Structure 1
Amino acid sequence: MKLPPKLKKALQLILSLGVALWIFWFLYKDIELDSFLAQIKSSKWHWILGSLAVSLIGFWIRGWRWTLLISKDEGKAVTASRAYHAVMVGYLVNLLVPRAGEVARCGVLQRTNKVPMGHLIGTVILERTIDFVFLLATIFLAFSVENQLFIELAGEFIDLDNLREKAFSNLPVVFGGFVVFVLTLYWIGRRFRDHGLVQKIQHFFREVLGGVKQIKNLQNPLGFWLSSIVIWVIYFMTMYMVSMAIQSTAILSMGEVLLVMVMGSIGMIAPVQGGIGTFHALVALILIQFGIAEADGKIFAAIIHGSQMILMVLAGLLSWFWMLRLPVESQPEQA
């Protein structure tokens, strides 16, 4: 029996929230509330408040970067201030419904600046494509900076020496298996090229490549690339400042914090509200590998995630109320 679209979306929302809360409960069921509160009280709050201030700057830069993608020929000109408020409304909605915030922030600018929804959705897709490219670049950077640490972490789960020895002793078999694997992928791509899943994968990578190429046609491509770099530097600064606020994580090197940021970023991609559960699980996992006590790793994840969520809720609500005050016919504000 086919479910009505609204009921299907509601069930998906409930399921994603249920999974997120279950993961969160499973992680923190053994953490005593007194220990958590003691860690919060003993934290250096000037670092945490500083991280929130830096995050706000990052949100504003994200809004400014968005204006570079919005054509001035579409509707009324969008200022960085207005784009920032729309972005914050989007973050607020994302905490309730995963991915819905992207549509919500577009709807805000459609209402206040009469920019066509299709054009705005296109800019968001392009923006997310570039963010994905930067995530891959950050993962590569983390591997380059901490390649030995990557190898050690891999060794925790896989016997690398034994695997290497077997691979060299059976080199013809390994090479042949690799060739067969590549040919199999090629055959699947040719044989099922009309299949929906294969087409979606091909379409995704075409969008990534097309998005990167499209940036050069912007009026300010340099500003776009520089702001994108700054946004990811700010992500790192936020994580690093919170690590300095907690005694158990203050010993982490910058390379280790970079790895923590990568794991947290991957956790935020998961289709659950605000990365609840998945962010905490991955951040705590990598911290444990660094020798941080399990409880301290989980508390660190809760503090940085919780502080960011509170910031997004408060700033998102303020932006929502501010945007509601603007009439549809309002003239674009001066930057």
Structure 2
Amino acid sequence: MNKKLINILKKTLPLLIGVFLIWYSYQNTTPQERTSIFNAVQNANYFWVFISLLLGFLSHLSRAFRWNLLLEPLGYQPKITNNIMAIFVGYLANLGVPRSGEVLRASSLTTYEKVPFQKSFGTIIAERVIDVIMLLLVVLITAILQTEIIANYFAEKNINYLKLIVIASVLIVGGLVFLLLIKKAKSGFLLKVKNFVFELLEGVLSIFKMKKKWLFLFYTLCIWILYIAMFWVIKFSIPETASLPVNAILASFVAGAFAMSATNGGIGLYPIAVSKILLIYGISKASGDAFGWIMWTAQTIMVVFFGALSFLLLPIYNRNK
């Protein structure tokens, strides 16, 4: 398989999977369920959807401020306006081609703020590592809150705890062996992996060298609290989901977060993942699907609107540079 075909598959496969999942979801609902989903979406309280969008925008604004804290030690302090527009342009690009947004976001600062691409892109990688750590922290908190539900699920599925422990142990040992191998690597593919891993670690550790590390932590917490809050308020838009407890919101949030990374912007998969989790908490499929579709559609519309607007305004705002 040549490189050109591989690149085409990388760009189109996640989108095709998303489209397939939309078709699959449609095919696996009865006409009555489709009517119920449509009615739930149509009759939703869109005041709470607006509040969710506002919280989402504030999370992106917090990200723009946090980005400057990573750039400042490198000798750069772009305008917040350029930061937020570059972020939205990057999100928009990711809807079409996965991971292209990070490149476009970095190149935007290179073009309009004269920040070297390598340095700008390095800060974005550091951001991603921190965000992965935060997501894993949310997953851990969610797992602790769901202990009883997880135990019941394992019991229903006859899942052996010992097997899980053995698998986890094998993965940990395998990870340690892999780290030892790349640490000793001096050439070839493993050397490239080694350099990549250590660059990531360097990016993360550089955060502790910042003068404003506590402000960085504050913005990071703001971003993730706002992420969960914008998910939380959507529950009030549908009567059946209004009384969902925090552990149900966190579980569906985690499912949605992983769905977002699996297909372009979570297309097709996001509503399915959220709905499957809400079923565990006694929410009907119609209301669960409606919740997922409202959440995904609202955030996607915001990204498309502000992303397209930012793409147009960036050269106009910086016309004197």
- Normalised-by-shorter TM-score class: 0.7 to 0.9
Q: Distance in 2 between matches of 1:327 and 1:174?
A: 55
Does 1:248 pair with 2:249?
no
Deviations 1:87-125 (A, max 9, x none): 011111111111100111111111111110000010000
Residue identity in the other structure for 1:237: A
Match in the other structure for 2:254? 262
Distance 1:55 1:175, change over 3 A: closer
1:21 aligns with: 19
Which residue is 1:111 aligned to? Answer: 111
Give unmatched runs, 5+ long, in structure 1: 168-172, 331-335
Q: CA deviation at 1:295?
A: 2.7
Trace 1:119-134 onto structure 2 (pairs within 5 A).
119-134=119-134
> Partners of 1:251 and 1:292 in 2: how far apart?
10
Higher helix share: 2
For residues 36 and 170 of structure 2, the distance between their equivalents in structure 1, rounded to whole angstroms, comes to 54
Q: 2:283 aligns with which of 292, 295, 302?
A: 292
Aligned to 1:67: 68
| Aligned position for 1:136 | 136
- Per the alignment, residue 333 of structure 1 pairs with none
- The higher radius of gyration belongs to 1
Mind listing any 5+ residue stretches in structure 2 that lack a counterpart? none
Whether the 8 Å CA contact 1:129–1:207 is kept in 2: the answer is no
Residue 307 (structure 2) aligns with:
316
Give the alignment partner of residue 207 of structure 2, picking from 211, 215, 223: 215
C-alpha distance in 1 between matches for 2:268 and 2:24: 9
Please tell me the residue identity of whatever aligns with 1:285. Answer: K
The Cα offsets for residues 35-76 of structure 1, whole Å up to 9 and x where unpaired, read as 33311222111111111111111111111111111136556x
Report deviation, 1:138. Answer: 0.7
Identity %: 27
- In structure 2, relative to structure 1, the CA distance for the partners of 1:305 and 1:116 (3 Å cut) is same
Listed as ranges, the matches of 1:1-335 within 5 Å are 2-3=2-3, 5=4, 7-29=5-27, 30=29, 32=31, 33-71=34-72, 74=75, 77-159=77-159, 163=160, 206=198, 209-270=201-262, 272-327=263-318, 330=321
**Change beyond 3 A, Cα 1:153–1:48:** farther
Equivalent residue letter for 2:282: G
RMSD (Å) for aligned C-alpha atoms: 3.1
Gap change, CA 1:31 and 1:213, over 3 Å in 2:
farther
| TM-score of the pair, normalised by structure 2 | 0.86
- What is the TM-score with the length of structure 1 in the denominator? 0.83
CA gap of 1:36–1:220, structure 2 versus 1, over 3 A, is same
Task: Answer yes or no: is the 8 Å Cα contact 1:130–1:208 preserved in 2.
Answer: no
> Aligned equivalents of 2:150 and 2:189: distance in 1?
32
